[in-house]
Structure 1
Amino acid sequence: MKAFRDELKHLLSGNGMPYEKVSIMVSLVITVIFSVMLGLNYAKDTPITVIDLDNSHYSHELIDYLNNSQLISVTAVVNTPAEPNELMYRDKAYAVVYLPQGLEKNHYNGERADIGVFYDNTSSSALSGVREALNEIIADLNNPSIGTGDTIRGGTMLVSRSLFNPAESASNGEVTGFLIFFSSMFFAFATLGMVPRLRQEGKLDLHFKVGTAYDLIERILPYCACWLIANFIGLVVLRFWGDINFSGNIILYFAVQTLYIIMLGMVSVFMGWSAANPGAASSRMILFVPGGFIFGGYGVPMTMMPDWVHWINQIFPLTWEFKFIRDIVFRGAGFFDCAVTIGQFLIYITIIWILFSRKFDKEQIAYGEIAE
């Protein structure tokens, strides 16, 4: 019992990870918050885009019929030829339905009337509702008693094609997601305890005395370099050992990665700032890393979350990282294709920097008052 009492005393002393608090926090987060955020249990109103080259009364009826499904939502209709992959950038559409010219004529002449559909296979689990809805709608169209209500039986066929990851390779999905998630998690472990460590070593006072917030950013850079090198090695392994399809610009990708990891470093140092020691700081990783994996589109499809979650998940750094992974790596988006997302990301980084620098300035002022 002596060993038990000694370890219990250490657990409650605050000199290490406050597991008694972390265990309860994890239990509450998993059971309460996740139950609310993941309460839909199915993909609802998955956004799709329609390329309507027929632009006829029949095609308009068909679009309305698609939009009436609770599983899909027609968010845009294009009446000119367009590249389906470009319509999927920034998660604007998970599928593109193609209505060819002459669709109405072929349908009413009793001839074969093919409808094309392009699936965004970067997240196959997000497409289950879309595939189910489209197959049901095509079956209804070929039944004259329902569907659009005409008397033509049969003739409408759905021709599908999967983009970006047609073979549903794990390297182009789950493995890449786990690579980024675990790399970010251990990066957070390495940097969360920076300020508590500097405080214990007596070096934090020197920063407050003659330094600026930029000096703390400078301390993050070696960890950032390690993360970038490890990320590059991981992608090389997936390219030659696996079958990852890197479709984007490598320079654009690593430019965004550099911004991401510096930003994650600022968040990590900020979150661990007030911890009593590095061990206690490490437990705070759960507050900002796992949420981005779960609600950023890899852990759970975005289409299975309520609309309000799509706003809340923007506070997690990994949410932004996964947006760039899907667009640049898998979909091959260029700078101008994801310029809006990059602009939003820069605003996010600016907010993080303001919070970080204000925290430093506040602590620096408090140190000056104590020194006087």
Structure 2
Amino acid sequence: MQNIIKSILEEVDAMLSGHFIPYYKVAIGLAAIIALIFSLVLSHGSVFEGKIAVIDLDGSKYSTELISKINTSPYIQVSEVIRAPVNPITLVSHDRNLGVLYIPKGLEKSLKRGDQSVNLGYFVDDTNDAQNAKILPSLNEYIPELGAEISVNRVSALGLGKESTEATLVPMQLKSRYMFNPASASTISTIIYFVYFFSSLTYGLTSLMIVGRLKVTGLWNSVMERGPLALMARTIPYALFYTTGLTLIGAILVIFGQLRFEGNYFAYVPSIFMTGLAFGWLGFLLSWNTKNPGEGASRMIFLVPPGFIMGGSTMAVGLLPLWAYYTSYAFPLVWLFRFFRDFAMRGRTLVDMFATYGAYIIYLTIIAAIVMAVYFHAQKSYTQNEAVKNC
């Protein structure tokens, strides 16, 4: 126990010395800065008032009314209406518009006669599919409804009531409801993921440089003498500041109504601390053979970014093949994102999360066992070298 306490105090002294990363400041400061900047830059989780151009070859009263009604959607803004044939590529170049709606000639006449279906076209700028995520569903919903208004009036002349007419034209409808983020608030999704990502980056860099720093400063020999638990305990102060920083910023966002957290935060906090331990211990494994802090920092690409990419923050988890889905749990950030979604967004209770916590404990136990195995192997070599020197 004395060796463990000494190791922890040495890491605290290193943070306060001014010669290494002052993580006690970075853990809170960086999280606050990222939350503030991205809250200002990303006000929504989806594109609102997405600009589209309209090529209106019909030029009728109905096509004008149709354009006006489409423009009322919160996700769509008609930026320009062109009455002549134009190459749609020119209208989306330089991010001028997100897409182009094409209204064919004879639209109004065809609808009033009812002799054939009329197809409107939408040219999608799919250089970034996410930009049209709300525009396409909105158009797919509005166009049939607006077209049905004319058909309802015509069919109702047959003597059917309005409800019967609607049932005849549209026998089934799909009504959707967003369960966890109906307002598409960016803080609940994008911003909080960025806060976690950048906070994990700084902590990952710090943990990857510990082994190199111990070797450069001449403390590696004492590490080999104190035992593996003393080495792993060096991550505790960093994990505590990591937990404090994310908790403090999360609390501020919740208090000011910027972040929705449905579950019990105290039941969620252990997962942050456990993630801090996992980052630290994996950092030891990745940097075990490094000789200086810079060499350890260069291995960051293997620690934090994979978890950010595969954890459901940048792409849907369902897109991953089954083998990739299970492999993703080798990265601590994947676990933390899963805990956050279940506790914060879905409002799961501690009892509901017992199984996940149990799996996470097994994960940490495996990492700890590997660290101890590597440590004892290195300690054996160290002991043999010391015996040779003494001879």
Secondary structure class of the residue paired with 2:177: strand
What amino acid does structure 2 have at the position aligned with 1:341? T
Pick the aligned partner of 1:282 from 297, 308, 330. 297
TM score, norm. by length of structure 1: 0.58
Equivalents in 1 of 2:370, 2:318: separation in Å?
Answer: 32
Pick the aligned partner of 1:158 from 133, 149, 174. 174
Aligned-pair identity (%): 29
Equivalents in 2 of 1:253, 1:175: separation in Å?
Answer: 19
Pick the aligned partner of 2:211 from 195, 211, 215. 195
- Are positions 1:332 and 2:347 aligned together? yes
Equivalents in 1 of 2:222, 2:273: separation in Å?
Answer: 28
**Residue deviations 1:210-248 (CA, integer Å, cap 9, x gap):** x11111122111111211111112102322445210111
**1:193, 1:273 within 8 Å by CA — same for their partners in 2?**
no
**2:208, 2:283 within 8 Å by CA — same for their partners in 1?**
yes
Secondary structure class of the residue paired with 1:275: coil
| Partner of residue 224, structure 1 | 239
Q: CA deviation at 1:153?
A: 6.0
**Residue deviations 1:7-39 (CA, integer Å, cap 9, x gap):** xxxxxxxxxxxxxxxxxxxxxxxxxxxxxxxxx
Q: CA deviation at 1:258?
A: 1.5
What amino acid does structure 1 have at the position aligned with 2:357? I
Equivalents in 1 of 2:171, 2:315: separation in Å?
Answer: 37
What amino acid does structure 1 have at the position aligned with 2:383? G
1:139-178 matches, cutoff 5 A: 154-178=170-194
| Partner of residue 321, structure 1 | 336
Pick the aligned partner of 1:267 from 262, 282, 294. 282
- Are positions 1:366 and 2:366 aligned together? no
What amino acid does structure 2 have at the position aligned with 1:189? L
| Partner of residue 111, structure 1 | none
Q: CA deviation at 1:339?
A: 2.3
**2:242, 2:273 within 8 Å by CA — same for their partners in 1?**
no
What amino acid does structure 1 have at the position aligned with 2:173? M
**1:248, 1:328 within 8 Å by CA — same for their partners in 2?**
yes
**1:289, 1:316 within 8 Å by CA — same for their partners in 2?**
yes
Equivalents in 2 of 1:303, 1:207: separation in Å?
Answer: 43
1:91-240 matches, cutoff 5 A: 154-209=170-225, 211-240=226-255
Equivalents in 1 of 2:256, 2:348: separation in Å?
Answer: 24
| Partner of residue 350, structure 1 | 365
Secondary structure class of the residue paired with 1:222: helix
What amino acid does structure 2 have at the position aligned with 1:357? M
Q: CA deviation at 1:286?
A: 0.7
TM score, norm. by length of structure 2: 0.55
Q: How many residues align?
A: 231
CA RMSD in angstroms, aligned pairs only: 2.5
Q: CA deviation at 1:200?
A: 1.6
What runs of 5+ residues in structure 1 fail to find an aligned partner?
Answer: 1-124, 140-150
Equivalents in 2 of 1:208, 1:343: separation in Å?
Answer: 31
Q: CA deviation at 1:293?
A: 0.4
Secondary structure class of the residue paired with 2:269: helix
Equivalents in 1 of 2:208, 2:170: separation in Å?
Answer: 63
Equivalents in 2 of 1:259, 1:287: separation in Å?
Answer: 19
**2:210, 2:284 within 8 Å by CA — same for their partners in 1?**
yes
| Partner of residue 260, structure 2 | 245
**Residue deviations 1:311-356 (CA, integer Å, cap 9, x gap):** 2212111111111010011111112222222222111111111111
Q: CA deviation at 1:159?
A: 2.2
**Residue deviations 1:347-369 (CA, integer Å, cap 9, x gap):** 11111111111111111111101
Equivalents in 1 of 2:278, 2:329: separation in Å?
Answer: 14
Q: CA deviation at 1:152?
A: 7.5
Equivalents in 2 of 1:184, 1:260: separation in Å?
Answer: 9
Equivalents in 2 of 1:338, 1:225: separation in Å?
Answer: 22
| Higher Rg of the two aligned structures | 2
Equivalents in 2 of 1:276, 1:371: separation in Å?
Answer: 19
**Residue deviations 1:288-316 (CA, integer Å, cap 9, x gap):** 21000001110111123333321221211
What amino acid does structure 2 have at the position aligned with 1:305? L
Equivalents in 1 of 2:315, 2:358: separation in Å?
Answer: 25
Equivalents in 1 of 2:322, 2:274: separation in Å?
Answer: 28
What amino acid does structure 2 have at the position aligned with 1:170? S
